[in-house]
Structure 1
Amino acid sequence: MKEGIILLSHGSKSAIANQELLALSRALEEDLELRVKEANLQFSKPDFWQAVEELADDNIQRITVVPLFVFAGKHVKADLPSLLAEVRNKYPRLTFKTTSHLAGEVSLLKNLIEVKLNNVSQSI
Protein backbone atom coordinates (compact mmCIF):
# COMPACT_ATOMS: atom_id res chain seq x y z
CA MET A 1 0.00 0.00 0.00
CA LYS A 2 1.49 3.35 -1.04
CA GLU A 3 1.93 5.86 1.76
CA GLY A 4 2.25 9.62 1.86
CA ILE A 5 2.56 12.44 4.34
CA ILE A 6 0.97 15.87 4.53
CA LEU A 7 2.86 18.49 6.53
CA LEU A 8 0.03 20.75 7.65
CA SER A 9 1.04 24.30 8.49
CA HIS A 10 -0.93 27.34 9.57
CA GLY A 11 0.02 29.11 6.36
CA SER A 12 1.60 32.49 5.89
CA LYS A 13 1.56 35.51 3.63
CA SER A 14 5.37 35.43 3.89
CA ALA A 15 7.09 33.90 0.88
CA ILE A 16 10.05 33.01 3.12
CA ALA A 17 7.87 31.01 5.51
CA ASN A 18 6.23 29.18 2.62
CA GLN A 19 9.64 28.40 1.13
CA GLU A 20 10.79 26.96 4.47
CA LEU A 21 7.80 24.61 4.52
CA LEU A 22 8.51 23.53 0.95
CA ALA A 23 12.19 22.90 1.80
CA LEU A 24 11.19 20.78 4.81
CA SER A 25 8.75 18.82 2.67
CA ARG A 26 11.37 18.10 0.00
CA ALA A 27 14.04 17.12 2.56
CA LEU A 28 11.67 14.69 4.29
CA GLU A 29 10.55 13.23 0.98
CA GLU A 30 14.15 12.50 0.08
CA ASP A 31 15.08 11.10 3.52
CA LEU A 32 11.94 9.01 4.06
CA GLU A 33 11.51 7.92 0.45
CA LEU A 34 7.78 8.64 0.74
CA ARG A 35 5.60 11.19 -1.01
CA VAL A 36 5.48 14.29 1.19
CA LYS A 37 3.21 17.23 0.43
CA GLU A 38 3.09 20.54 2.21
CA ALA A 39 -0.29 22.12 2.96
CA ASN A 40 -1.58 25.27 4.62
CA LEU A 41 -4.79 25.95 6.48
CA GLN A 42 -4.96 29.56 5.36
CA PHE A 43 -3.20 32.46 3.63
CA SER A 44 -1.19 30.41 1.13
CA LYS A 45 -1.26 27.49 -1.26
CA PRO A 46 -1.24 24.60 -1.50
CA ASP A 47 -4.12 24.07 0.87
CA PHE A 48 -5.05 20.80 2.56
CA TRP A 49 -7.42 19.73 -0.21
CA GLN A 50 -4.85 20.33 -2.95
CA ALA A 51 -2.31 18.19 -1.09
CA VAL A 52 -4.83 15.36 -0.65
CA GLU A 53 -5.81 15.51 -4.32
CA GLU A 54 -2.18 15.36 -5.46
CA LEU A 55 -1.47 12.35 -3.26
CA ALA A 56 -4.68 10.62 -4.36
CA ASP A 57 -3.77 11.29 -8.01
CA ASP A 58 -0.43 9.57 -7.32
CA ASN A 59 -2.33 6.49 -6.06
CA ILE A 60 -1.27 7.08 -2.46
CA GLN A 61 -3.64 5.04 -0.32
CA ARG A 62 -2.53 5.84 3.24
CA ILE A 63 -1.97 9.46 4.25
CA THR A 64 -0.53 10.61 7.55
CA VAL A 65 -1.21 14.23 8.43
CA VAL A 66 1.52 15.87 10.53
CA PRO A 67 0.16 19.06 12.11
CA LEU A 68 3.02 21.55 12.45
CA PHE A 69 1.43 23.36 15.38
CA VAL A 70 3.13 23.74 18.73
CA PHE A 71 0.08 23.78 21.02
CA ALA A 72 -3.43 22.31 20.93
CA GLY A 73 -5.26 25.45 19.89
CA LYS A 74 -8.30 25.86 17.63
CA HIS A 75 -6.59 24.52 14.53
CA VAL A 76 -5.58 21.30 16.30
CA LYS A 77 -8.74 20.80 18.36
CA ALA A 78 -11.42 21.93 15.89
CA ASP A 79 -10.17 22.60 12.37
CA LEU A 80 -8.07 19.46 11.89
CA PRO A 81 -10.72 16.99 13.14
CA SER A 82 -13.29 18.71 10.93
CA LEU A 83 -11.02 18.49 7.88
CA LEU A 84 -10.30 14.83 8.56
CA ALA A 85 -14.00 14.02 8.85
CA GLU A 86 -14.69 15.78 5.54
CA VAL A 87 -11.78 14.19 3.70
CA ARG A 88 -12.69 10.69 4.92
CA ASN A 89 -16.18 11.19 3.48
CA LYS A 90 -14.86 12.49 0.16
CA TYR A 91 -12.13 9.83 -0.18
CA PRO A 92 -13.52 6.66 1.46
CA ARG A 93 -10.97 4.42 -0.31
CA LEU A 94 -8.07 6.24 1.38
CA THR A 95 -6.87 5.80 4.95
CA PHE A 96 -6.09 8.94 6.92
CA LYS A 97 -4.32 9.17 10.25
CA THR A 98 -2.71 12.03 12.13
CA THR A 99 0.16 12.57 14.50
CA SER A 100 -0.09 14.70 17.62
CA HIS A 101 0.76 18.39 17.61
CA LEU A 102 4.32 19.25 18.63
CA ALA A 103 3.68 19.89 22.35
CA GLY A 104 1.84 16.57 22.42
CA GLU A 105 5.34 15.06 22.40
CA VAL A 106 6.91 16.88 25.36
CA SER A 107 10.27 15.10 25.14
CA LEU A 108 10.54 15.98 21.45
CA LEU A 109 9.74 19.62 22.12
CA LYS A 110 12.19 19.74 25.04
CA ASN A 111 14.94 18.30 22.83
CA LEU A 112 14.17 20.84 20.12
CA ILE A 113 14.37 23.71 22.60
CA GLU A 114 17.68 22.41 23.96
CA VAL A 115 19.12 22.27 20.44
CA LYS A 116 17.86 25.79 19.76
CA LEU A 117 19.41 27.08 23.00
CA ASN A 118 22.75 25.63 21.94
CA ASN A 119 22.51 27.52 18.65
CA VAL A 120 21.34 30.94 19.82
CA SER A 121 21.86 33.74 17.33
CA GLN A 122 21.78 37.45 18.06
CA SER A 123 19.38 38.37 15.29
CA ILE A 124 15.81 37.56 14.53
Structure 2
Amino acid sequence: MNDPLILLAHGSRDPRWRAPFDALADSLSGRLETPLRLAYMELCDPSLESVVAELVTAGYRHADVLPLFFAAGRHLREDVPRQIEALHARHETLTIELLAPVGEHPAFIDALASIIEGRAEPSHAP
Protein backbone atom coordinates (compact mmCIF):
# COMPACT_ATOMS: atom_id res chain seq x y z
CA MET A 1 0.00 0.00 0.00
CA ASN A 2 1.53 3.33 -1.12
CA ASP A 3 1.63 6.15 1.40
CA PRO A 4 -0.90 8.86 0.59
CA LEU A 5 -0.01 12.36 -0.48
CA ILE A 6 -2.11 15.21 0.86
CA LEU A 7 -2.15 18.33 -1.30
CA LEU A 8 -2.68 21.21 1.12
CA ALA A 9 -4.10 24.53 -0.05
CA HIS A 10 -4.91 27.53 2.10
CA GLY A 11 -8.67 27.65 1.68
CA SER A 12 -11.23 30.35 0.95
CA ARG A 13 -14.89 31.05 1.61
CA ASP A 14 -15.31 31.70 -2.14
CA PRO A 15 -16.18 28.38 -3.81
CA ARG A 16 -14.82 29.65 -7.16
CA TRP A 17 -11.37 29.93 -5.57
CA ARG A 18 -11.30 26.14 -5.12
CA ALA A 19 -11.82 25.30 -8.80
CA PRO A 20 -8.14 25.13 -9.86
CA PHE A 21 -7.23 22.98 -6.83
CA ASP A 22 -10.14 20.62 -7.42
CA ALA A 23 -9.19 20.35 -11.13
CA LEU A 24 -5.56 19.63 -10.22
CA ALA A 25 -6.50 16.92 -7.72
CA ASP A 26 -8.97 15.34 -10.15
CA SER A 27 -6.38 15.31 -12.93
CA LEU A 28 -3.67 13.81 -10.73
CA SER A 29 -5.91 11.18 -9.13
CA GLY A 30 -6.38 9.54 -12.50
CA ARG A 31 -2.65 9.57 -13.28
CA LEU A 32 -1.02 8.50 -10.01
CA GLU A 33 -0.84 5.19 -8.20
CA THR A 34 -0.21 7.07 -4.95
CA PRO A 35 -3.41 7.74 -3.02
CA LEU A 36 -4.01 11.47 -3.34
CA ARG A 37 -6.17 13.69 -1.15
CA LEU A 38 -6.83 17.41 -1.33
CA ALA A 39 -7.19 19.29 1.96
CA TYR A 40 -7.52 22.88 3.04
CA MET A 41 -5.77 24.55 5.93
CA GLU A 42 -8.81 26.62 6.82
CA LEU A 43 -12.06 28.19 5.58
CA CYS A 44 -13.37 25.25 3.52
CA ASP A 45 -13.68 21.48 3.36
CA PRO A 46 -12.24 18.99 3.36
CA SER A 47 -10.06 20.15 6.22
CA LEU A 48 -6.65 18.70 6.93
CA GLU A 49 -8.17 17.25 10.11
CA SER A 50 -10.93 15.39 8.26
CA VAL A 51 -8.56 14.04 5.61
CA VAL A 52 -6.15 12.76 8.27
CA ALA A 53 -9.04 11.10 10.15
CA GLU A 54 -10.11 9.41 6.89
CA LEU A 55 -6.57 8.11 6.29
CA VAL A 56 -6.31 6.75 9.84
CA THR A 57 -9.66 4.98 9.43
CA ALA A 58 -8.37 3.46 6.18
CA GLY A 59 -5.36 2.06 8.06
CA TYR A 60 -2.56 4.24 6.72
CA ARG A 61 0.50 4.70 8.94
CA HIS A 62 2.28 7.53 7.07
CA ALA A 63 1.22 10.47 4.94
CA ASP A 64 3.10 13.32 3.27
CA VAL A 65 1.64 16.81 3.15
CA LEU A 66 2.62 18.84 0.08
CA PRO A 67 1.69 22.51 0.51
CA LEU A 68 0.39 24.15 -2.65
CA PHE A 69 1.96 27.44 -1.56
CA PHE A 70 4.55 29.59 -3.33
CA ALA A 71 6.68 30.01 -0.21
CA ALA A 72 6.98 29.01 3.44
CA GLY A 73 5.44 32.00 5.19
CA ARG A 74 3.97 32.12 8.67
CA HIS A 75 1.31 29.53 7.87
CA LEU A 76 3.90 26.93 6.84
CA ARG A 77 6.44 27.87 9.49
CA GLU A 78 3.99 28.01 12.41
CA ASP A 79 0.32 27.23 11.77
CA VAL A 80 0.55 24.04 9.71
CA PRO A 81 3.27 22.45 11.89
CA ARG A 82 1.03 23.13 14.92
CA GLN A 83 -1.91 21.53 13.12
CA ILE A 84 0.21 18.50 12.26
CA GLU A 85 1.47 18.20 15.84
CA ALA A 86 -2.11 18.28 17.15
CA LEU A 87 -3.19 15.73 14.56
CA HIS A 88 -0.36 13.39 15.49
CA ALA A 89 -1.31 13.70 19.17
CA ARG A 90 -4.90 12.75 18.24
CA HIS A 91 -3.88 10.01 15.78
CA GLU A 92 -0.67 8.51 17.14
CA THR A 93 -0.65 5.67 14.61
CA LEU A 94 -0.14 8.06 11.68
CA THR A 95 3.15 9.79 10.97
CA ILE A 96 2.62 13.00 9.01
CA GLU A 97 5.52 14.61 7.17
CA LEU A 98 5.30 18.23 6.02
CA LEU A 99 7.14 18.68 2.73
CA ALA A 100 8.56 21.90 1.31
CA PRO A 101 5.99 23.99 -0.58
CA VAL A 102 5.68 23.49 -4.34
CA GLY A 103 6.94 27.05 -4.86
CA GLU A 104 10.40 25.96 -3.72
CA HIS A 105 10.67 23.19 -6.30
CA PRO A 106 12.93 24.04 -9.27
CA ALA A 107 10.40 22.63 -11.76
CA PHE A 108 7.70 24.94 -10.38
CA ILE A 109 10.00 27.93 -10.66
CA ASP A 110 10.86 26.97 -14.26
CA ALA A 111 7.18 26.54 -15.18
CA LEU A 112 6.24 29.87 -13.62
CA ALA A 113 9.17 31.62 -15.32
CA SER A 114 8.09 30.14 -18.66
CA ILE A 115 4.55 31.48 -18.23
CA ILE A 116 5.86 34.93 -17.29
CA GLU A 117 8.36 34.98 -20.16
CA GLY A 118 5.54 34.08 -22.58
CA ARG A 119 3.51 37.03 -21.33
CA ALA A 120 6.50 39.40 -21.39
CA GLU A 121 7.48 38.69 -25.00
CA PRO A 122 6.78 41.66 -27.25
CA SER A 123 3.84 41.26 -29.56
CA HIS A 124 4.74 40.37 -33.13
CA ALA A 125 1.73 42.29 -34.47
CA PRO A 126 2.57 45.21 -36.81
- The secondary structure found in structure 2 opposite 1:8 is strand
Distance 1:63 1:118, change over 3 A: same
Q: Which residue of 1 aligns with 2:21?
A: 21
2: CA distance, partners of 1:103 / 1:2: 25
Deviations 1:11-51 (A, max 9, x none): 01222221321221222222221221111112211111011
1: CA distance, partners of 2:53 / 2:22: 17
1: CA distance, partners of 2:41 / 2:58: 22
The higher radius of gyration belongs to: 2
- The secondary structure found in structure 1 opposite 2:30 is helix
Q: Which residue of 2 aligns with 1:115?
A: 114
- The secondary structure found in structure 2 opposite 1:66 is strand
2: CA distance, partners of 1:27 / 1:59: 25
Moved more, 13-22 or 110-119: 110-119
Moved more, 54-63 or 41-50: 54-63
Q: Which residue of 1 aligns with 2:123?
A: none
Q: Which residue of 2 aligns with 1:94?
A: 94
1: CA distance, partners of 2:76 / 2:109: 20
1: CA distance, partners of 2:118 / 2:17: 20
Deviation, structure 1 residue 7: 0.9
Scaled by the length of structure 1, what TM-score is found?
0.83
Deviation, structure 1 residue 64: 0.5
Structure 2: give runs of 5+ residues left out of the alignment. 120-126
2: CA distance, partners of 1:119 / 1:30: 29
Residue 32 (structure 2) pairs with residue 32 (structure 1): yes
Q: Which residue of 1 aligns with 2:60?
A: 60
The one-letter amino acid of 1:116's match is I
- The secondary structure found in structure 1 opposite 2:43 is coil
- The secondary structure found in structure 1 opposite 2:81 is helix
The one-letter amino acid of 2:7's match is L
Give the 4+ runs in structure 1 shifted more than 6 A.
none
2: CA distance, partners of 1:26 / 1:62: 22
Identity of counterpart residues, as a percentage? 24
Deviation, structure 1 residue 58: 2.1
The one-letter amino acid of 1:4's match is P
